[in-house]
Structure 1
């Protein structure tokens, strides 16, 4: 069995990049899905600015930043493993759903982190959010062709939605607790 060379991989990558650009220009850009993605990218941050507790903004921002990094990594893994894909993009050179990864999910989780400071209520709020994301938001995104499941089921998302927020809160509290000592 002959394995592809680095040159063949680079050639295929270049061709894929060109195809993605053409697809973006002729299908994605200025489509209804593109406008929705733009709104989902901008509006949560405007809402967040009005709702965020300015006295805790650094801590809340750090929680959201760490969460966004984790979400982006998990999304990249899922796309790379062909578990899901995104037929429409806000920008053509990033194959993840940035409006969700760095806007919708982190903003909502930052608000949960802000308003539900006790562990029990934080976990309950995240369970409810995970169920809403997995069984309402994801199917809507599939229906409007923004999200495409390849080798994934909605129920697989639930424990990931819950655990990522818990992991980041635990990590952040451990780091902040240690820095106060």
Structure 2
């Protein structure tokens, strides 16, 4: 026996997703806002490929993937619960702003981890968190991001702890070779 509430919700969600996709095709794809998103993917990625510490690449990528997972999960929850929205996603099937969650934030963390690795991690976390206080009003002003029920201070605190988690993970030494 099917639950009618879930069936009705599924139908509404599917229709809404089709509307969102069509709106993205008509009003977002290939606009200058959309190209900013593409630049926020390509530029950090190219900088990472050129300036990464190749000797620590695997360790940094591990920390970067963790940052991407945490950022994407929190970003999804924020949009799901209506705390903020993105008006010009690079691709609308994900409610995350892909350039931030999967590229800019993880790559910024990886660079911070590799530059002055002995520097106090709490100070680096503060630097990373200040980035959110600077970046979020800029992307709001550009029209990409709209905080609905959100205070920038919350992002500051979250980014601070995301960096500390990445720092901790990047220092792990328990990796052993895989054996048969």
1:17 counterpart = 2:13: no
SS of 1:178's partner is coil
> 2:63, 2:110 within 8 Å by CA — same for their partners in 1?
yes
* Whole-Å separation in 2 of the counterparts to 1:4 and 1:116: 57
Q: What's the offset of the Cα at 1:171?
A: 3.6
* Whole-Å separation in 2 of the counterparts to 1:22 and 1:100: 23
> 2:128, 2:163 within 8 Å by CA — same for their partners in 1?
no
TM-score (norm 1): 0.90
Query: Could you say what the CA RMSD is over the residues aligned between the two structures, in angstroms?
Result: 1.6
Could you tell me which residue of structure 2 aligns to residue 164 of structure 1? 162
Measured against aligned partners, the alpha-carbon deviations of 1:61-90 in whole angstroms (never above 9, x if no partner) come to: 111111111111111111111111101110
1:178 counterpart = 2:174: yes
* Whole-Å separation in 2 of the counterparts to 1:106 and 1:82: 24
Query: How many pairs does the alignment contain?
Result: 174
> 1:116, 1:125 within 8 Å by CA — same for their partners in 2?
no
* Whole-Å separation in 2 of the counterparts to 1:144 and 1:107: 22
* Whole-Å separation in 2 of the counterparts to 1:133 and 1:45: 19
Measured against aligned partners, the alpha-carbon deviations of 1:100-147 in whole angstroms (never above 9, x if no partner) come to: 111111111100011132261x3212212211322x210011111110
Aligned positions of 1:98-177 closer than 5 A: 98-118=98-118, 120=120, 122-134=121-133, 136-173=134-171, 176-177=172-173
1:6 counterpart = 2:2: no
SS of 1:85's partner is strand
* Runs ≥4 residues deviating over 6 A: none
SS of 1:6's partner is helix
Could you tell me which residue of structure 1 aligns to residue 29 of structure 2? 29
Gapped regions of structure 1 (runs ≥ 5): none
